[in-house]
Structure 1
Amino acid sequence: MKVFENPARSEWNSLLQRPVAEAAKLEAIVGDILQQVKARGDEAVKELTLRFDKAAITELQVSEAEIREASASLDEALKTAILTAKANIETFHRKQITQTEMVETMPGVHCWRRSVAIEKVGLYIPGGTAPLFSTILMLGVPARLAGCKEIVLCSPPDKAGKLHPAILFAAEAVGVTKVFKAGGVQAIGAMAYGTESIPQVSKIFGPGNQYVTCAKQLVQQQGIAIDMPAGPSEVAVYADATAHPAFVAADLLSQAEHGSDSQVILVVREKALVEQVQKELETQLAALPRKDLAAKALDNSKIFVIDDESTAMELLNEYAAEHLILACDNAGELARQVINAGSVFLGHYSPESVGDYASGTNHTLPTNGYAKAYSGVSVDSFVKKITFQQLTRQGLQMIGRTVELMAEAEGLEAHANAVRVRTIK
């Protein structure tokens, strides 16, 4: 990790850049794959799965027998862990369900807003180097609580053409209606356009690499809603003299091991802490099964030494991390200064991995600085908010002249007349 001491604000923008692929080249590759799926459906998905995942698939949809077999083969302790996490996620997300409240804005004028579930949603679950079955809980639980009728799941198969048993167990546990062996851009295209096997959905959820993120953004331009531009995972850690170097290093590595395109940022108050953390990183990295991926991510990562606490928080808000860890004794106080972050972890005993799996909050979060404008996934992500209004005759009489005057001023006479014909005595 490169170290920067009190960089000038004019340098922040360039120093906080995430590693990205060249946009035009990326879009060209992704666009071509999407077009193949749109034109040739299942045939293209199978060909691309063989090309990218080295898996020969005859049936894209996972059968009931495969799901039963997966459940039977899974370790009972892991099943219990998954169901415990599911319960916590349900508890947290159930509180997000709001009741319809009618508002009388003036006598006889009643307005209200009702949440209506999106009927068909698609969940993309990364497989690749790590089967992220935890993401199924994060997406499937709020989708079910919202009342979505059809929940389609796509995930890349292994070379044997199978999905990880934990993915299938979690999918069944949260009530996913259909599971398909398809990953990458081809999965996004299949859910966006529909194929002979994979239903077209109205909104696509789930994280992924830069290719998946690009695919989601391209289909969004064609009318398919997406949760957010969620790309490679990232974490920023703020640590002062009270931080534990081993804890900090472990948190940095927990994100770095996601993949070579992940990024971690460390902001410290004291330069002495830098060397301590770097030593811990070296020791812990050597013991990781995914150390090669994590090491590449660390090459894309940075350490900032910022003497002033307020300036440190300003830099972190500018970075707008997906995950922000405040490793300090005054984390509660500093948390009030956070305005840009996907999810925040306070204190020395709140590792980011707890939020990734089981605390109850959602781990599908905005990356790449999008936390400045986007929220993480919630029950609200799976519903539409429809407004209603109903006026009595008296209500229209009271508000009518206001509407007429405004419509006439805008030159929209038909608008004014829609009121006038009802209020002429």
Structure 2
Amino acid sequence: MTARGKRTVRDLRRGSRSILLRRVYFDGPISRQELGQSTGLSAGSISNVTAELLADGLLEECGSVESDGGRPRILLRVPPGRARLVGVDVGETQVRVALFDLALTELAASDHPLTDGGHDVGQVVAAVLGGLDEVLAGTDPATVLGVGIGVPGIVEQGDPAADGHGIVVHSQTIGWDAVPLGRLLRAGTSLPLYVDNGAKTLGQAEMWFGAGRGARHAVIALVGSGVGACVIVDGARFRGATSSAGEWGHTRLHVGGRRCRCGARGCLEAYVGAAALVKCWGRAPAGADDKAGLAALLGAATDGQQAAVELLDEAAEYFGAAIADLVNLFNPERIVIGGWAGLLLGPRLLPGIRRSAARHALRFPHAQTSIELGTLGPDAVTVGAAALPLSHFLDSGGDLTQR
């Protein structure tokens, strides 16, 4: 038996595979020489491990570049078609299921509107499983690394050995109290399941592929019907004791203020979330969902309607004040605003948000922080969800038996 804490030769080999696979994935095409400079591994290790990964079909040669007087350097990359990933965004207006290749290029997608704000668990589960059937039609299940799912609320992962059965979701705003989502989904699919909070999957996507790339300390804000955040500390997502860190939408802006969907008063979500803004405006077309209602509100403000202009100006002020709290608490170098509503509101509200943040934050940390919009579009949660099985794949060193 291996002593606790002692790494075996197999562990070291897997670690080397993971280091090289990650580096090639994020920085490729890249040469073996560049891998040596960036990873610190010996030339012998790089030669052996890349040979293994090439033999396994996890790397491929993709051209060459001239070297200084020597033979051309062969470039390596991760072949995009080697495997498939599924990302699922369980929102409050719809469930979106998408199939991706390893380069996170979308290959197929299925959208399922939700008629009750996501409260009916059965409807959500049926939408996820129905979407899986649609996007995976004609795809060999053996090539699918897993299904990543972003959900509103707090996720308990349970026992990793339980094959997803132990995944439980708590979402106070939509009435999910200890919903056994893993068990419910497992009844309809045998694919590996990875579930996390939607804001955290958005954060992963923007940090890897979008506006957060290159930052070590950041906050990625998700603004949709509600509000959440992913806090990045030294390059890693901060989860807290029970994985509920980042419930930024339920921090207090006004004691005794507007009623929030969570039941409390004065939450940030009650002042900047799409559902709250549409409700407070009260002039959305009959039957309009949050997306249509928010678009109508923005249109009214563009037309100069005073009530709409004042409501959005107030939202920018509150949003900036809440961002100032993030600046003072976490000292991030970058704050990224994403989510479908954040991107819809951003072009109009961002100047006011920045002015408000400057007024309310401490001057020195604020001067080190940029406030930007996300770059991955309104479907970034889906991309981030697909990154969950991708991350597992890279961590394992490309071990396809660890699905």
Question: Which structure has greater strand proportion?
Answer: 2
* Higher-Rg member (1/2): 1
Give me the TM-score of the superposition, normalised by structure 2. Answer: 0.27
